[in-house]
C-alpha cells in the first residue's frame, strides 16, 4: 500500500515587507498583517475599515498603506 501524497503548505510571506499593498474586495475584511503573513515577527493583528475610508487605509502600527483596487 502506498502512503498518501503530501501536499506542501504555502509558506507565510514576510510581514510588513512592503509599504504599499493593493488588495481586492475578495481580501476583505482587511487586517494588517494580512492573513498570508507570518505573525511571529509582526505587530498584533488590527482590522482596517478600508471601505469606510474611501478605498485607502493606513496601518496605525507599521504605517503600511493599503489600496482597494476593485
Residues 18-33: pLDDT tens digits? Answer: 789 999 999 999 999 9
Query: 10 in a domain, yes or no?
Result: no
Q: Is omega for the bond preceding 33 within 30 degrees of 0, making it cis?
A: yes
Domain range for residue 45?
A: 20-68
Angle at the Cα of 29 from the Cα atoms of 63 and 16, rounded to 5 degrees? 30
CA distances from 44 to 10, 26, 41, 65, 67 (A): 22, 22, 10, 17, 20
Q: Say if residue 11's pLDDT is above 90.
A: no
Please give the mean pLDDT across all residues of the chain. 83
Q: Is residue 13 part of a domain?
A: no
Examine residue 41 and state whether it is found in any structural domain, yes or no: yes
Tell me the whole-structure pTM to 2 decimals: 0.73
CA gap 59, 7 in Å, rounded:
34
Count the residues in the chain: 70
Asked if the structure places residue 28 within a domain, the reply is yes
* 12 assigned to some structural domain: no
Total domains, the chain: 1
33 within domain boundaries:
yes
Residue 40 lies in a domain: yes
Q: Is 5 inside a domain boundary?
A: no
Amino acid at each position: 500500500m502506498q502512503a498518501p501524497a503530501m501536499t506542501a503548505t504555502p509558506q507565510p510571506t514576510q510581514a510588513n515587507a512592503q509599504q504599499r499593498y493593493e488588495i481586492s474586495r475578495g481580501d476583505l475584511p482587511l487586517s494588517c498583517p494580512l492573513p498570508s503573513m507570518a505573525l511571529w515577527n509582526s505587530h498584533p493583528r488590527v482590522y482596517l475599515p478600508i471601505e469606510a475610508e474611501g478605498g485607502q487605509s493606513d496601518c496605525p502600527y507599521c504605517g503600511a498603506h493599503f489600496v482597494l483596487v476593485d
